[in-house]
Structure 1
Amino acid sequence: MGRQKFAVSAGSELTWAIIFSLGWLVCAMIALELTQGADGLAAVWPSSGIFVAALLLLGPRGRKLTSIGVALASFAANMWSGVGVLPSVGYTIANLIEGWLVFVLMGGGRAEHVLLARPLNLLRFAASALVGGIASAIMAGILSSNFDTVFLTSWMSTVTLGMLVVTPVVMFLHQDEAHETRMLSLRGFWTFVFVALTALAAFGQAEFPLLILPLVAISITTAALGLSGAMVALLLVTAIGSVLTMFDLGPVGAFFPPVEQQVLVFQVYLLALLVSTLPVALSLARNRRDLEEIATSKRLLEAAERAAKVGHWRHDPDTDAIYWSEEAGRMLARDPLPATLTEMAEMFHEDDRPRVMGLLAGARHTGIPFIFEARIDSPDGTPGYFECRNEVETNTRHGPAIIFGTIMDVTERTEAMRELEQAKLRAETEAAEVRILAETDHLTGIPNRRKVLSRIGGQIAKAFSGRHRFTIAMIDIDHFKTINDRFGHEIGDLTLVKVSQVLEAHLRSGEMVGRVGGEEFLFVWPGSDALAARERCLAIGRALAATEWHKAGLEPVTVSIGIAEYDVRWDESQLLRSADDALYRAKHAGRARCVIYEEPAVI
């Protein structure tokens, strides 16, 4: 049942106060008329239930207005029935006290949030109604100076029953809109017709003992319409039974002629109906509420699983059966779904199957949880990737553990990760290619000036730390401008390519040669001194001399080489200047030779 308030505006509170007050007055006048005035005895005083319901449902202003209206209605009804002024005032005060006492005992201002459909709250209300009925009877006796035992007992019982029968009906109808909808349906109409007929059959004749029929009818109403329907049915039986009993048409009047006995028997009968009906009605209402909550939770879970593309499954170790959620079945798209752990393992791709079988077996026998991602192909062969997790539920019988797991479709994520990895590899490849292009001479294919100079920087750092020595050699093609002028730039380019090939052929591990200018090349020899470098340069010169230039359509060329061994006092620019100075001296000495840099003598 909902926890809604009886939400009304200030103007609406006045309207509801008038409605409750008029309802109190009508019910009071009918009850007094049926009991033939002030001396008659009523079995139920429904007005008390109406007043208590108003106090429990309305706000502070509505309660005050209703109390004023009930006070006027009570005084008017008692005066109309022939009661004197002072007793009418006393009865009115008693009527107000009983309602407000029950309201206070139910929590006062917090009472509007109390759900009577809960057993403890209903028991609390029954106790409050009994206390209110007793207090009302005592107050009525004191204020009216009427201390007759029959009067006081009748007042207490009728008031208490009025609250027990009428108040829950109003409260249940207000607090449970679903039951109200059922009662206003065609099924509700025919159910109440059936209740009325059973009540007429039970109280409209005395030849056959049919008082059990209303109880059966109320039980059927409980199953069909819920707790609110049961209370309305009880109210209907109370109304029909009261009227027929007052006219001596039923078994109560036939077997118990005195009026006092008739009232007592009928009240006991109503109390028996209450005691036998309410526990069953409350149990059914609670079960229905639990089922509705379970159904709502199931719907929310299914909606969440659809949104997250997550399904769940549960393995029963006793039967080795697997239950799959709706979303899990939709994702797997298999009919039938795997019914056992073995069948579950077999639905995975053969590459992942052994691993999955091991994890499932471990979870089943040892309770070890798992999380893995594996491939499951759809029936049409489309690959899919799923992430599986599990939790192990402890079996109270110390048997095999119950496995509860989730399965998530991560195909899109896997494909995205795969595409991301491929994009990363492509980017790295492209970056490497760009880096190579940026560090490679486009004509000869050997390292360019940037690359070879960066190598020199690294070698200087190592040599400066004292780990090793290194030497560089600046190589220049002799008369290269003449080659370009006589044969054209195309032949000049071919000459550069051929020379670079010869130089590369003389590289060893860790060494580098690069083109640093038009016809200039730079050799880097880690771990080599100047004399060893000179022997390597002479070998390069012999290789160039032995090259079959004519077969390549080229003129023979020679090179001049300047060698400089690194000195820890130098930086990169000083090292290059030293090699360049040695190259200059080689050219001026006649070319086709190599010269080692020597520092000038200090004068």
Structure 2
Amino acid sequence: MGDWRALRRRLRLAGGTGVLFLLVAILSELARRSSGLQAIWPCNALLLGILIARRRSWRDMGAIVAGGLVGSLAFHLGRGDPAMITVLFCVANLVEGLLALLVLRRLCRPGELFDRVSDVLALVFAAVVSTLVSASIGGFALAMLDRTDFAAGFGQWYVTGVLSQLVIAPVVVILAQIRDRRRMRRMAAQPIAELILVLGSVAMVTAAIFIWSALPLLFLITPMVLFATFRLRALGAVAAVGIVAVIAGYASELGYGPILAASPDPATRSLLLQLFVACCFLTALPVAAMLTEHDLRAEQARQMGDRFKAVVENIGEVIFRVDRNGRWAYLNPAWEALTGFALADSLGTGWLDRVGATDRTELDDRLQSMLAGGDTGARQVVQFGTAAGVRWMEVYFQGLRDPDGVVLGATGTLRDIDDRKRLEQHVMTAKRRAEQRAREATQLASTDELTGIANRRAFMRQLDRETAGAAEFGWPLAVAMFDVDHFKRVNDRHGHPVGDKVLQLIAARAVAAVRGGDLVGRLGGEEFGILMPGATAEDARMVAERVRLAIEMPRIGDRDLPAVTVSIGIAAREDQRDSAQLLAVADAALYAAKGAGRNRVQLAA
């Protein structure tokens, strides 16, 4: 079904092109025979215009070329041209259109010959190049018909061919673009009354110069064509040049106008008329292209501005501009949603009026530095007063400069981060609480609950570390173990609560008596340990003696507690001893002290 529809479309293209080519050729031949003048041969340019008016597939273009070939054959055979001459004319017509099509496909975008000046230049180049080949074939055919010599035939074909492509092809493209919706909207912006008035003025001035005026006022036509171009863009240029060509050709046929005064020779007058129309075209069409290109850029800028405005007015952040006096010069609609204050009431007020006092000075200093040409941008979190209360805001701003680099003020954004800020504060509070609980848990896990000093696990862990360090680096290390002499008697006579207080007092006096960096730990029951990094056996003995004496001292302020003594055993690290062996040697020294009478310090043997 789809292939059948495509075939029908191509058949319509071929048939329509062939009929149109034949009709235009007949009309052109009738005009030539009646006046002897032929300013343009529109058939080839008509074919080119149909090919480039829209983006077509190669099959569609093949159908158009086939239709043009059939129309050309019908015309020349109907005119009575010999078969060989007919073939040459048909080849010349098709070669001219196809070569121009290939050049334009290479250099510009089909269907957009008036949107850029480069497209117009590409059309001129295509017309000049393609007509060189077709004029060579056509001039040869005209010479074979004995109408003229090759040079004259080549010149006549070349001039009419170039002029036809430059005038007729753009007309066809313009007519095709009128059917395009985008172009229709652009052209609809021009009132019909203005269209009639402008083109009517061109027609009246041209008719006055060519028919009624006896003065050489041909130069007045160019300003009128340009006027139509400025008002109507490409449509005005093509329509005005077409009007001028029709009126000038008709007046010259009737024997009027300044062209006839230039020369009595019809061929010369025809050439002058062609050159005049070409000059009008080459003057107006590039101007139309420049104006169209300017209009397209202006439309793109307007659309970009509309899109930017839509983004700015619908974004959730406040976009602002501040003048050199520090006053709001612009605020987007997000201001009202964010702060609860009306735009009309806020514009012109100081931009720091609602900033918290603690942040105001720093923010103003940054703005003044920026206005002086210093800082290029700044970001700060501030407390900002809104209708709903004080909220945390993040403000970012940078200097706004004119093309000469002069600072006009500042522009930036204001973003509500109150929820994020409060969440951060909540997270930080929770983190601090978790860290505090972790520290407390660690302390509980490594601290003896009764005495507040290191428990056995913490003491042994630290002993392992110190033993490994001493073995690696060779520094001295000593360990002391002590327990309370006859502590069972204290519990039996005074009770366990008193015994616990005695243990607490012993721990406190031991901690006070050791060196800084030494570790006192409760190893279990009434047994304690002292870890002394960097201590020799003699150093350890002196520390242990201080501990023994401190515990033996009278209990000033604690007279209800019984007096107790301790026995202490000391072991200094030797190369062969690990932490377990070191502690076992100290324990053996402790039992040796007890066996020697208690309340004494005993070094390991």
Q: TM-score, normalization: structure 1? A: 0.72
- CA positional deviation for 1:143: 0.4
The correspondence for 1:49, drawn from 28, 45, 54, is: 45
Match of 2:166 in 1: 164
- CA positional deviation for 1:75: 2.0
The correspondence for 1:382, drawn from 373, 384, 391, is: 391
Show structure 1 runs of 5+ residues with no match: 1-7, 551-555
Residue 481 of structure 2 contacts residue 527 of structure 2 at CA under 8 Å; is this kept in 1? no
Q: Which moved more, 1:252-261 or 1:284-293?
A: 252-261
Residue 482 of structure 2 contacts residue 527 of structure 2 at CA under 8 Å; is this kept in 1? yes
Match of 2:183 in 1: 180
- CA positional deviation for 1:173: 7.2
Residue 39 of structure 2 contacts residue 271 of structure 2 at CA under 8 Å; is this kept in 1? yes
The letter for the 2-side match of 1:50 is: L
State how far apart, in whole Å, the 1-side matches of 2:186 and 2:400 are.
45
The letter for the 1-side match of 2:184 is: T
- CA positional deviation for 1:40: 5.0
Q: Which moved more, 1:36-45 or 1:564-573?
A: 36-45
Residue 237 (str. 1) matches residue 243 (str. 2):
yes
Residue 229 of structure 2 contacts residue 237 of structure 2 at CA under 8 Å; is this kept in 1? no
The letter for the 1-side match of 2:41 is: W
The letter for the 1-side match of 2:164 is: G
Residue 354 of structure 2 contacts residue 385 of structure 2 at CA under 8 Å; is this kept in 1? no
- CA positional deviation for 1:186: 7.7
> 1:442-453 residue pairs with structure 2 within 5 A?
442-453=449-460
State how far apart, in whole Å, the 2-side matches of 1:172 and 1:444 are.
103
Residue 45 of structure 1 contacts residue 159 of structure 1 at CA under 8 Å; is this kept in 2? yes
Residue 118 (str. 1) matches residue 116 (str. 2):
yes
Match of 2:22 in 1: 25
The letter for the 2-side match of 1:147 is: T
Question: 1:427–1:58: structure 2 CA closer, same or farther, 3 Å change rule?
Answer: same
What SS is found at the alignment partner of 1:76? helix
Match of 2:569 in 1: 563
What SS is found at the alignment partner of 1:441? coil
Question: 1:248–1:323: structure 2 CA closer, same or farther, 3 Å change rule?
Answer: farther
Residue 294 (str. 1) matches residue 301 (str. 2):
yes
The letter for the 1-side match of 2:547 is: R
- CA positional deviation for 1:533: 0.9
- CA positional deviation for 1:519: 4.5
Residue 73 of structure 2 contacts residue 90 of structure 2 at CA under 8 Å; is this kept in 1? yes
What SS is found at the alignment partner of 1:513? strand
Match of 2:503 in 1: 499
State how far apart, in whole Å, the 2-side matches of 1:137 and 1:532 are.
123
What SS is found at the alignment partner of 1:386? strand
Match of 1:143 in 2: 141
Residue 547 (str. 1) matches residue 591 (str. 2):
no
State how far apart, in whole Å, the 2-side matches of 1:98 and 1:196 are.
31
What SS is found at the alignment partner of 2:517? coil
What SS is found at the alignment partner of 2:453? coil
Question: 1:268–1:511: structure 2 CA closer, same or farther, 3 Å change rule?
Answer: same
- CA positional deviation for 1:101: 3.7
Residue 310 of structure 1 contacts residue 328 of structure 1 at CA under 8 Å; is this kept in 2? yes
Match of 2:586 in 1: 579
- CA positional deviation for 1:512: 3.5
What SS is found at the alignment partner of 2:529? strand
Among all aligned residue pairs of Structure 1 and Structure 2, give the percentage whose two residues are the same amino acid: 21
What SS is found at the alignment partner of 2:524? coil
Residue 95 of structure 1 contacts residue 136 of structure 1 at CA under 8 Å; is this kept in 2? yes
What SS is found at the alignment partner of 1:24? helix
- CA positional deviation for 1:529: 1.8
State how far apart, in whole Å, the 2-side matches of 1:172 and 1:517 are.
106
- CA positional deviation for 1:108: 5.9
Deviation digits for residues 436-485 of structure 1, max 9, x if unmatched?
2222234544332222223334544566546555442333585559949x
Residue 32 of structure 1 contacts residue 81 of structure 1 at CA under 8 Å; is this kept in 2? no
Residue 438 (str. 1) matches residue 434 (str. 2):
no
State how far apart, in whole Å, the 1-side matches of 2:547 and 2:301 are.
89
Residue 473 (str. 1) matches residue 489 (str. 2):
no
Aligned-residue RMSD, C-alpha = 5.4
> 1:247-396 residue pairs with structure 2 within 5 A?
267=274, 270-298=277-305, 335=343, 350-352=357-359, 354-356=361-363, 359=366, 369=376, 371-375=378-382, 377=384, 379-380=386-387, 381-388=390-397, 395=404
State how far apart, in whole Å, the 2-side matches of 1:437 and 1:22 are.
105
Match of 1:534 in 2: 545
State how far apart, in whole Å, the 1-side matches of 2:482 and 2:24 are.
122
State how far apart, in whole Å, the 2-side matches of 1:514 and 1:529 are.
16
Residue 596 (str. 1) matches residue 601 (str. 2):
yes
Show structure 2 runs of 5+ residues with no match: none
Residue 73 (str. 1) matches residue 71 (str. 2):
yes
The letter for the 2-side match of 1:281 is: A
The letter for the 1-side match of 2:28 is: A
Deviation digits for residues 164-188 of structure 1, max 9, x if unmatched?
1232345567789675232674857
Question: 1:214–1:194: structure 2 CA closer, same or farther, 3 Å change rule?
Answer: farther
Residue 377 of structure 1 contacts residue 383 of structure 1 at CA under 8 Å; is this kept in 2? yes
Match of 1:129 in 2: 127
The letter for the 2-side match of 1:31 is: S
What SS is found at the alignment partner of 1:516? strand
Residue 252 of structure 2 contacts residue 260 of structure 2 at CA under 8 Å; is this kept in 1? no
State how far apart, in whole Å, the 1-side matches of 2:246 and 2:335 are.
56
Residue 471 of structure 1 contacts residue 566 of structure 1 at CA under 8 Å; is this kept in 2? yes
State how far apart, in whole Å, the 2-side matches of 1:236 and 1:498 are.
123
Pairs aligned (count) = 572
Question: 1:462–1:120: structure 2 CA closer, same or farther, 3 Å change rule?
Answer: closer
- CA positional deviation for 1:98: 2.3
Residue 131 of structure 2 contacts residue 162 of structure 2 at CA under 8 Å; is this kept in 1? yes
Residue 142 of structure 2 contacts residue 153 of structure 2 at CA under 8 Å; is this kept in 1? no
Question: 1:88–1:459: structure 2 CA closer, same or farther, 3 Å change rule?
Answer: closer
What SS is found at the alignment partner of 2:395? strand
State how far apart, in whole Å, the 2-side matches of 1:272 and 1:531 are.
120
- CA positional deviation for 1:598: 4.3
Q: Which moved more, 1:109-118 or 1:306-315?
A: 306-315
State how far apart, in whole Å, the 2-side matches of 1:47 and 1:346 are.
76
Question: 1:521–1:27: structure 2 CA closer, same or farther, 3 Å change rule?
Answer: farther
